[in-house]
């Protein structure tokens, strides 16, 4: 029993430490992006996802440190799932689509790019999959990251159609790209969101099952 308690305390300490690191790094990125883009930064899916991760991490640290809760609420855990999936999307799109067109350094080396496109996504996924204890998530949770991404995409398309926004991504430029290109990229990203969400929830459930089995063996 003591080993189980010590293990939980160690995991909580690691969880708090990583989330504090995330908060600090995301805040640094936020200040930089605000200086460079101003309020126009909110047009970027990448920046929005990183800001949401900063807020989610702050809420998780608050609940653990000040409310003394070892388990995250289902609602907060779903928001963390949205962050993990959306940040993975930003990493994959940057790596496979944008970086080959505009340069690897711009998306992964310069300024706060490593935070937005690599470190943030990595730490978000690690904490969600392997460290976070939460209430049971409803089955509909698997579709929420996709819904959040579609909400961003449809809003951006409407603003592009009204000529309020230009992009910021090529497949959102409704006057420059064909309907086929727009539909293709929306379909790819929608499917990718759903697959990643399902995969992350499956991995997380397997990790919890393995941990529970190990605890059962220790108690025998």
Is this structure's pTM higher than 0.85?
yes
What pLDDT score does 67 carry?
A: 81
What pLDDT score does 216 carry?
A: 40
Q: Which long-range contacts (CB under 8 A, 24 or more apart) does 61-68 make?
A: 61/16, 61/19, 61/20, 61/23, 64/12, 64/15, 64/16, 65/16
Listed in sequence order, the DSSP H helices in 38-143 are 45-65, 74-93, 99-102, 104-108, 113-114, 120-126
Which 3 state secondary structure label does DSSP give 66?
A: coil
What pLDDT score does 214 carry?
A: 46
What pLDDT score does 101 carry?
A: 87
| Dihedral sign for Cα atoms in the order 198, 200, 202, 208 | negative
Q: How far is CA 19 from CA 30, 65, 88, 113, 163, in A?
A: 16, 12, 17, 19, 38
What pLDDT score does 7 carry?
A: 74
C-alpha dihedral (199, 138, 49, 52), degrees to nearest 10 = -140
User: Around 131, how many Cα atoms within 13 Å sit in the side-chain half-sphere?
Assistant: 22
What pLDDT score does 68 carry?
A: 83
Cis peptide before 168 (omega within 30 of 0): yes
Question: Alpha-carbon distance 212 to 220, whole Å?
Answer: 13
C-alpha dihedral (35, 40, 45, 49), degrees to nearest 10 = 50
Instruction: Please list the rounded mean pLDDT of every run of 10 residues in the chain (220 residues).
Output: 70 94 98 96 96 97 88 94 98 93 92 96 96 90 97 97 94 94 96 97 82 48
């Amino acid at each position: 029993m003591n080993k189980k308690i010590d293990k939980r305390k160690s995991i909580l300490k690691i969880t708090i430490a990583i989330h504090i690191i995330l908060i600090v790094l995301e805040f640094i990125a936020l200040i930089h992006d605000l200086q460079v883009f101003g309020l126009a930064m909110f047009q970027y899916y990448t920046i929005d996802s990183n800001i949401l991760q900063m807020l989610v991490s702050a809420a998780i640290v608050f609940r653990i440190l000040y409310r003394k809760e070892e388990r995250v609420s289902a609602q907060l855990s779903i928001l963390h799932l949205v962050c993990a999936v959306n940040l993975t999307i930003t990493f994959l799109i940057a790596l496979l689509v944008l970086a080959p067109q505009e340069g690897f350094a711009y998306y992964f080396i310069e300024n706060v790019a490593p935070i937005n496109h690599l470190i943030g996504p990595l730490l978000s996924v690690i904490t969600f999959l392997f460290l976070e204890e939460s209430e049971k998530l409803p089955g509909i949770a698997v579709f929420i990251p996709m819904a959040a991404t579609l909400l961003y995409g449809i809003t951006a398309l409407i603003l592009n159609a009204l000529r309020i926004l230009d992009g910021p991504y090529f497949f959102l430029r409704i006057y420059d790209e064909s309907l086929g290109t727009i539909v293709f990229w929306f379909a790819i990203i929608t499917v990718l969101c759903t697959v990643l969400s399902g995969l992350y929830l499956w991995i997380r459930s397997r990790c919890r099952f393995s941990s529970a089995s190990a605890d059962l063996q220790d108690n025998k």
